[in-house]
Structure 1
């Protein structure tokens, strides 16, 4: 009986884990079709705007019955803006910079999340949070510093974009928690629509200020349209699948699983772009990854000292959104 129970428990956690790994894989590969669109004449911000719009429309059509739960609130505007900064920073940085360096700067989330949560969620900034923030920042310094370059700052606009995108990602995670507290009746799919819709609107505005390359040739328009729509549908479906996984996997474990994106990005950037991380990138990236893992472990310890939460493994994702804070997960919508 114990063996059967253990096998059933492993099955319940195996599929959600694979869902999160699938999401991480998609995010680790999405930079390549974005570069394809840029090569065809669609700028980074325009690519972000069109794919996000396609994803938003797909979600609204798929779950149109949930639109009634979408009510006006300033937090939704803030979430949309933060998602827009996230998407623009990642897409523009990945198109114009070295993918792995941009993504490592993007993953400085322990530092930014601790700061934003302190001011927005009124969470006390503990010594552990401060130490992990410093560790992740030390990783960035190790990656960026060299005697020739001087100050350990991002070397170009693409790396600055990756850094800003990571700050937007951390802000999005904090605002998701704030939204679930303030608007508990908001359906998860509507939150996804807000994220993609906000990204599409902000990217459309920024596109007006970006120097535009030559527009796609008429012969390439069907291909560009196909990639944009296909990428939007894939990203929207991927976001929904990952939300299902996040509803059934402990938050600390999910944070570690999502680091699989770094592995996929490293392999894809090596295979498709010939980018090989150097010793400084490995050292700095190691510090950032360790900070993320320790951050997940520290939050797990804090949750274990709190009152035990009920088992939510068999509860639908929209119900899990109303669970205690220790069980809530952050949502990521990329490009």
Structure 2
């Protein structure tokens, strides 16, 4: 008698990543508010990341019991720090549209890193979805005046490095799940926020800062940092849940949904009306995200791929 196939529907993990991308698509507004209060980009990144780390430690402190040393921990922290600092510094000091375009070349880097570290094979359907999502990013962010997405200054190199760090962050998260199955998602979240806080704090030491907020502005900024830390901490735990259950190549495509939410939030909150090109690009990204769930909707265990995945082995044993 043939064993029954293990059918996996990744609807909940996909929804978790989509929700996480949506929250990141609107977080620029409170960060811009902090900047208006006198908190620089690097300082705001360091403070909110530290607040997020502290929030997770307070509400999920029992997860520290799953901590044990592994080289993946500092690697993940460094990747998260490069991601955060590259995006923030590049967006502040360069042309935001060019920096974003270079940052959101993530699917290409993810395919390379996933192949090297996870042995994931990029199939033709996966390659087509990556191309569709990148085409959507090009439609939304590219313009003839800006030219090809080749870094031309330090800010643009920072955006490119941030995108590479983001791809590595996604791949290392999945590798950590496979090699450290006993470590809870909250511990990975603490690692991500701790790394982002440390890297941003080091960068803030070398960044010229405006006059710090005082009086009522200081109280407002403090409350905003605490609120952002709580929201981002919760959001990152949700994203970690999704990243642990979705192939790295598909996760990088789904995360591009942030571009769509960013365009909509800029329209509603800043009066930046998207044109036909932006809507068309957003449609490509949404379509790629939807099709990615269908393409990876589930396979028999014999075709599932990497048998080294502890979660897959456990599910297979449960079927015996």
1:144 to 142, 145, 150: 142
Structure 2: distance between partners of 1:43 and 1:295: 38
- 1:304 equivalent in structure 2: 299
- 2:219 equivalent in structure 1: 222
| CA distance 1:230–1:269, shift in 2 (3 Å) | same
1:266 to 246, 263, 281: 263
Structure 1: distance between partners of 2:188 and 2:237: 11
Scaled by the length of structure 2, what TM-score is found? 0.76
Structure 1: distance between partners of 2:93 and 2:32: 8
Instruction: Structure 1 unaligned segments of length 5 or more: list them.
Output: 1-12, 310-320, 328-335
- 1:323 equivalent in structure 2: 311
1:117 to 96, 106, 114: 114
- 2:208 equivalent in structure 1: 211
| CA distance 1:66–1:235, shift in 2 (3 Å) | same
Scaled by the length of structure 1, what TM-score is found? 0.73
Structure 1: distance between partners of 2:253 and 2:138: 22
| CA distance 1:156–1:176, shift in 2 (3 Å) | same
- 1:36 equivalent in structure 2: 33
Structure 2: distance between partners of 1:101 and 1:282: 18
Alignment of 1:87-126 (within 5 A): 87-93=84-90, 106-126=103-123
Structure 2: distance between partners of 1:150 and 1:267: 24
1:176 to 158, 173, 178: 173
Structure 1: distance between partners of 2:125 and 2:299: 16
2:299 counterpart SS class:
helix
Q: What number of residue pairs does the alignment pair up?
A: 301
- 1:314 equivalent in structure 2: none
Structure 1: distance between partners of 2:11 and 2:222: 36
| CA distance 1:158–1:136, shift in 2 (3 Å) | farther
Structure 2: distance between partners of 1:285 and 1:160: 25
- 1:331 equivalent in structure 2: none
RMSD over equivalenced CA pairs, Å: 3.9
- 2:192 equivalent in structure 1: 195
CA contact (8 A) 1:108 1:136 kept: no
